[in-house]
Amino acid sequence: MADRLLVVEDSKPIARVICQLAESLGFETVVASTLAEVETLLHGDTKFFAATVDYALPDAPDGEAIPCVLSHGVQAVVMTGKMDDITRQKILAQAVVDYIPKENSQAFLYLKRILHGQQVNHENGILVVDDSLATRNHVVELLMRRNFTVYVASDGVKALEVLEQHPDIKMVITDLEMPNMDGIELTNELRKRYSRDRMSVIGISGASNGIHSARFIKNGADDFLRKPFCPEEFYCRITQNIESLNNIKQIQRAANTDYLTELPNRRAFIQIAQNKLPKYAEQGVIYGLAMLDIDYFKKINDNYGHDAGDNVLKMVALYMRKHLPRAMLARLGGEEFAVLMEGVDEDQLFTRLDDLRRELSVAQLPYENQQISLTISIGVVFNGTGSLASQMNEADQALYNAKENGRNQVVISGQED
Ligand SMILES: Nc1nc2c(ncn2[C@@H]2O[C@H](COP(=O)(O)OP(=O)(O)OP(=O)(O)O)[C@@H](O)[C@H]2O)c(=O)[nH]1
């Protein structure tokens, strides 16, 4: 069921814009235009994930809807036309997610970013390291408001233990002075274990000069906060660092994924297989490497068009996923795919690949109003001994033999006769 967003807003056009952007994020929206309506809704059975709260309403001109929403355990993002410092202080003194001045259309883009963050931030684990319980609790409370998954440790040594147990942690916020292992030593240790594209480190210190920020950064931290910090600055730095980690992850994923089939591409296959082969040899794991190619694929493009060809490539990838759920699959390029499968003997591997071949050979792949039939050829190396490149060549040679022998077959290298 969709999460529900309460939109507290007396201007109908603004409420409509907020509802549209919230619905584009998958929220179900309920609008209230007065404090009285808010109270009625919150006393009812409807559960709300969060609320956007207009600061001034006809029956609540001075932000009275904010404590009302918060007292019902609903997170509030405040939208305000008032920009003065007293209003800002008054809003920030309450446990709101954020406040957004309604100055221009940027405000709505920012709101969308905040709401999306509230939906997905639980996927981001953040470790807070501080020996002061008061500071730790303050930072934890700020992070919880933004729905992050939060862990705590009271010094560097304990922080490393927590990190071992929770691989989902993406960010460490660490104080400088702590017993056993201080923030600088911890940052150093973290950088030995986690690269910058895997983990973000933010240092915190109360020192008034700039020395500590430079020390943190030079020891591998990504950012620095000076105590006392205001919630706005804190959130800006956290969000920016988390977003850049997630952007790097997305770029890495795009660079390693075939856009059409969403299988790993050649680069990813080679990288992963090159890591796996020495481990298989070391641990005596049995495995097979196969090259798979669609027969006469050019004719499919010629007869049905390039889009139909693309669709066939996607369908073949789906059949491969179905028959080889535990194998590593990849589209190497064009109409050529690769399979790396561990823990199966030669007969089992042959049977799985041949089942895939057989099912595809009798399938009628639908495309628009047409049914497309095809066959595939597969070349396999079982428990190869050479480098990945030489095993791929060997599998390619077996594939070539499968094509030469009439296509629509699986050939295991060394068993051609
Ligand atoms: N639709 C589509 N076609 C592609 C794509 N990449 C490569 N091709 C086409 O795949 C075809 C491959 O043709 P060939 O290498 O001659 O091989 P084939 O027709 O499958 O013949 P055999 O492999 O000998 O059975 C070419 O026509 C390419 O244009 C793609 O991403 N989408």
Q: How far apart are CA 377 and CA 405, in angstroms?
A: 10
Choice among 164, 335, 342, 346 that is catalytic: 335
Q: How far apart are CA 183 and CA 144, in angstroms?
A: 22
Q: 169: part of which helix (H) or strand (E)?
A: strand 169-175
| Dihedral angle of Cα 75, 79, 85, 91, to the nearest 10 degrees | -20
Active site residue 335: yes
All structural domains of the chain:
4-117 (3.40.50.2300), 124-254 (3.40.50.2300), 266-412 (3.30.70.270)
Q: Which atom of ligand 1 is nearest to the CA of 333?
A: 6
Give the pTM: 0.75
Task: Give me ligand 1 centre to Cα 261, in Å.
Answer: 15
Pocket test for ligand 1, best of 260, 295, 298, 400 (most atoms within 8 A of CB): 298
Q: Taking a C-beta distance cutoff of 8 angstroms, is the pair 340, 328 a contact?
A: yes
Kindly give the interhelix angle for 306-323 and 297-304, rounded to the nearest 10 degrees: 130
- What are the residues whose beta carbons fall under 8 Å from the beta carbon of 396, sequence distance 6 or more? 291, 379
321: phi then psi, degrees, rounded to nearest 5: -60, -40
The set of long-range contacts for 202-209, using a CB threshold of 8 Å and a minimum separation of 24, is 202/171, 202/172, 202/173, 202/174, 202/237, 202/238, 202/241, 203/174, 203/176, 204/130, 204/135, 204/139, 204/173, 204/174, 204/175, 204/176, 204/229, 205/175, 205/176, 205/177, 207/176
Sign of the Cα torsion 220, 226, 228, 233 reads negative
Which amino acid residue places its CA nearest to atom 16 of ligand 1? 298
Per-residue confidence in pLDDT tens, the chain, 417 aa: 789 999 999 999 999 999 999 999 999 999 999 999 999 999 988 899 999 999 999 999 999 999 999 999 999 999 998 778 899 889 999 999 999 988 888 899 999 999 999 999 999 999 999 999 999 999 999 999 999 999 999 999 999 999 999 999 999 999 999 999 999 999 999 999 999 999 999 999 887 667 888 899 999 999 999 988 888 889 989 999 999 999 999 999 999 999 999 999 999 999 999 999 999 999 999 999 999 999 999 999 999 999 999 999 999 999 999 999 999 999 999 999 999 999 999 999 999 999 999 999 999 999 998 999 999 999 999 988 889 999 999 999 999 999 999 999 999 998 765
Q: How far apart are CA 87 and CA 63, in angstroms?
A: 9
Give the residue among 8, 232, 251, 40 at the shortest CA–CA distance from 142: 232
Burial of 40 (C-beta count, 10 Å sphere; 0-12/13-18/19+)? exposed
Task: Give me ligand 1 centre to Cα 328, in Å.
Answer: 23
Task: Give me ligand 1 centre to Cα 51, in Å.
Answer: 53
Task: Give me ligand 1 centre to Cα 305, in Å.
Answer: 12
Give the residue among 162, 212, 210 at the shortest CA–CA distance from 190: 162
